[in-house]
Amino acid sequence: MESHPISIRVVEQVAERSNKDPIELPPLHSYVNVDALDALFRSSQLDIQNSAQIEFQYTGYDVTILFEEFAEISISESD
């Protein structure tokens, strides 16, 4: 799973959280620039001394991605 682009991991985790098949979810690119997201969190683009964080909403969920030594995805229901 770590080898998948961050965008795929987001869709998989939202699908799991919402008890849906990933194919049933709307395209992530309708909510965020997927190419930019993947490029931002590509481990070769960030060194260990840097960190990055991005937050966005996707199909009723708040998504937070934090990168320090590795990308950590947090999914919570939107208010």
3-state SS assignment for residue 52 = strand
Predicted model pTM: 0.85
pLDDT in tens, 14-26: 999 999 999 999 9
**What are the tens digits of pLDDT across the range 35-66?**
999 988 775 555 556 777 899 999 999 999 98
**Two structure tokens written together for 12:** 């998989």
Tokens of 51: 């960190």
Please state the domain extents for the chain: 6-77
Look at residue 1 in the predicted model and tell me its pLDDT. Answer: 44
